[in-house]
Amino acid sequence: MWAGVLAWLPFLILLANDYTPSLFPFLGAHLTGVLGGAWLRRSAANMDGAESRPGTFGRWRKSFATVLIYLGVLAWAPYFYFDKVLAVETVMTPFLVAHLTGVLGGAALRASVEVQKLVMKK
């Protein structure tokens, strides 16, 4: 997943140096890394059976984290609707803030479950 997140680094460096690169190669690398990493992570978690048992530790936090991540991703839907369907020039910043808040907040909440598991084992 980190490879997908870090795919934006060259894009930002190019922007900082007054280049206007196409968004699509970086978006493709981002989505491939993030979605592929999420799929691998879920597959690994399901292999040990911990995710499939009812009443697992931190179930509510995991569920809420998933909702936050989905909402963070869906924050782009209105932006693309305004920009591509209605052809209204739209500022990207509020949608990026909503996306990052949902995705990073959900990831942090999900990570808190794992950290608490590690602390409780000690």
Q: Domains of the chain: which residue ranges?
A: 1-53, 57-122
CA dist 71 and 66 (Å) reads: 9
CB atoms within 10 A of CB 43: 9
> What pLDDT is recorded for position 25?
87
For the chain, the average pLDDT equals 84
Q: Is the pLDDT of residue 46 over 70?
A: no
CA dist 93 and 76 (Å) reads: 11
Tokens found for residue 9: 């680094």
CB 76 within 8 Å of CB 99:
yes
The vertex-80 CA angle with 79 and 81, nearest 5°, equals 90
State if pTM tops 0.75: no
